[in-house]
Structure 1
Amino acid sequence: MAGVTRNRPIPTIKPDDAAFIRSLLIHEDDQVLAFNKPSGLPVQTAGGRGQSLDFLLWAFAKSNGKRPKLVHRIDSGTSGVLVVARTKPAAAHLSEQFASRTTEKTYLAIVSGDVPADNAGVLSTPLKKVPSDRGGREKMIAARAGEAGAQSATTAWSILSRSGNYALIEARPETGRMHQIRAHMAILGCPILGDRIYGTGKLSADRLMLHAARLDIEHPNGSRLSLEAPLSDDFLAKASGLGLRT
């Protein structure tokens, strides 16, 4: 993923779309951009068709066709911090941190079900991909260590607020598997509200109640960069309506 697209025709970005992507900015400098991605906006789309954050990055393209480059992804339904690189060296520097798991990621999720009695814990259940029977081509299920296709996966979690069988959970994934937090919360017995694959989808919330709240990463200049994305109004309203403190 390291590298910056160059020498390509620049697609026309509508003024409203350019204003929209710029409204999502939470950090901007000459090497790094970071956005508070809204739930429902895909980071990329198959074949580049349709609106995505990646396509909207053309709003930041230079006249020679060079444009910012993705260095990681979050699910379409997940909101929150998404960082991109503006230069080839920056892309290599940031991509390496995600690959080597030296970034620190903090997510917030509203869950329901058999909420753990403990206020914190670490889930280290391996995961493997299988075909999905609900929304999406694949999903993750619990696997045994050493099983064919099993991937190690570790998520530290803590409960920030409780209300009946609902909870606001802070999740800190140490690995970066597909759907890791979503699958681990379901394995824990309390899937994320609005999760159509691991939970009850629209029956519990209009969107996936998972938010990438903070990302701590080393800036290409060597300094530490802490990126924070505020919670959206719909997330706050859902938590408040359930009696959860944010």
Structure 2
Amino acid sequence: MSDAKNDTRDGVRQFNVGYDDDGIRLDRWFKRHLPETSFTTVAKWARTGQLRVDGSRVTPGDRIKAGQTLRVPPPEPVIEDTPDAPRPKRERPPLSEEQIAYAREMVIHKDLQALVLNKPPGLATQGGTKTSEHVDGLLDALQYDAEGRPKLVHRLDKDTSGALLVARTSRAAAFFAKAFSGRTARKVYWALVVGVPSIDDGMVDLPIGKQPGTGGEKMHVDEENGQAARSRYRVVERAGNRCAWVELQPFTGRTHQLRVHMAAIGHPIVGDGKYGGAAAFLTGGVSRKMHLHSRRIRVDHPDGGSIDETADLPTHFAESLATLGFDIAKGDAMPFEEPKKGPPPKAVLKQRAKAHAKSMRKEHRGERRRRGSPD
């Protein structure tokens, strides 16, 4: 926390930067500790030299360190019913006993700095326009004896299940955020995919961007304007030529990356109609739900050592593995290793991606012709 010193005679306030705020931006400090102070006010104080850190002038984007002293001017008077008047924070509704129990059942790891949850499929990580049930809305149930509310540091798609890391302190949140942005956090996913990749251990290196006309709701391979994206896959087992159980490791963190990459090489994830169309659904007792699960997460711990947790499969995924005759022990037996040295089979994967895109265009043309034909 950041402790306030006694106010001076002219109303100027002084605060000591706490351990949990080490390394954050100055404007973020105000959001945490003086949320009634608008960014416009902070910027004005900085511009006029009234806001200082250890006696020096600063900007809102400067990062602060534990132990530094902030000189903050007295609060500005608020004129009621003006556009600049700060709005009161919206209170979160209290959670029911059922919601608290539901949230705590997800916890598979708990320490002073972090939680790891096993998120069920169908539960969004964060809220949206049409999303009222989500992990973020349940975090009050997971505060336990900590001073502050837990904080999300990464996310999983709504229909993707499995290991989700949550920070219990601001310091841990900053530490984990650096781990994810620096790609030192490692995540292993399991998926069922349609068909069997011709290469058992491959790296998909295809840039991803927002697909035009979808409002950013759908991504696609974009060689010209997309962001770099790399995903490794390894085949664990196969069911003839029908489908394969694969281990996936993302080495970048693009939206829907694994789903886009597997569809791009002609092997969409089972149950992913968004990227695989009708071909993504199997018959013969295999669930129509998404078969993508965050099986394992390994990340350095802010207090030393590491967190290394495995999340159990949801019921529909486990039943599908059993139906197809796959041995779940084989997945966990895969060595947790770095990708093989040398260039990825990029040419092969690009060729397959183009072939898949061509087949999808043909399918769409066929759908347009059928819609235009008379009954």
Which residue of 145, 150, 171 maps to 1:68? 150
Amino acid at match of 2:219: M
Tell whether 2:233 aligns with 1:157. yes
- 1:75-116 superposed Cα distances (whole Å, 9 cap, x missing partner): 000000001111110110011111111111100000113x21
Q: Give the direction of change, closer, same or farther, for the CA distance of 1:100–1:48 in structure 2 (3 Å limit).
A: farther
Q: Do the aligned residues in 2 keep the contact of 1:10 with 1:61 (CA within 8 Å)? A: no
Q: Which structure ranks higher in relative contact order (CA pairs < 8 Å, sequence separation ≥ 6)?
A: 1
Q: Do the aligned residues in 2 keep the contact of 1:5 with 1:69 (CA within 8 Å)? A: no
Which shows bigger deviation, 166-175 or 121-130? 121-130
Amino acid at match of 2:271: G
Which residue of 10, 15, 20 maps to 2:102? 20
Q: Do the aligned residues in 2 keep the contact of 1:5 with 1:67 (CA within 8 Å)? A: no
Tell whether 2:206 aligns with 1:139. no
Q: Do the aligned residues in 2 keep the contact of 1:159 with 1:168 (CA within 8 Å)? A: yes
Cross-structure match for 1:117: 198
Tell whether 2:300 aligns with 1:218. yes
User: Quick one: distance in 1 between partners of 2:213 and 2:294?
Assistant: 24
Which residue of 174, 179, 185 maps to 2:262? 185
Amino acid at match of 2:207: P
- 1:24-76 superposed Cα distances (whole Å, 9 cap, x missing partner): 11100111011000000000111695111110011134799830000000100
Amino acid at match of 1:181: L
Tell whether 2:132 aligns with 1:50. yes
Q: Secondary structure at the match of 2:139?
A: helix
Looking at secondary structure, tell me which structure has more helix per residue.
2
Q: Do the aligned residues in 1 keep the contact of 2:103 with 2:142 (CA within 8 Å)? A: no
- 1:184-233 superposed Cα distances (whole Å, 9 cap, x missing partner): 11011110011121124684443210000011101111211112101122
Q: Output the TM-score relative to the length of structure 1.
A: 0.88
Q: Output the TM-score relative to the length of structure 2.
A: 0.59
Q: Give the direction of change, closer, same or farther, for the CA distance of 1:48–1:223 in structure 2 (3 Å limit).
A: farther
User: Quick one: distance in 2 between partners of 1:167 and 1:245?
Assistant: 12
Amino acid at match of 2:106: L
Cross-structure match for 1:102: 184
Q: Give the direction of change, closer, same or farther, for the CA distance of 1:49–1:122 in structure 2 (3 Å limit).
A: closer
Cross-structure match for 2:117: 35
Looking at secondary structure, tell me which structure has more strand per residue.
1
Q: Do the aligned residues in 2 keep the contact of 1:156 with 1:171 (CA within 8 Å)? A: yes
Tell whether 2:169 aligns with 1:90. no
Amino acid at match of 2:262: M
Q: Secondary structure at the match of 1:199?
A: helix
> Structure 1 stretches of 5 or more lacking a match?
none
Cross-structure match for 1:172: 249
Q: Secondary structure at the match of 2:274?
A: coil
Q: Over the residues paired in the alignment, what is the CA RMSD in angstroms?
A: 2.5
Q: Secondary structure at the match of 1:198?
A: helix
Amino acid at match of 1:194: G
Aligned-residue identity in percent: 38
User: Quick one: distance in 2 between partners of 1:104 and 1:12?
Assistant: 35
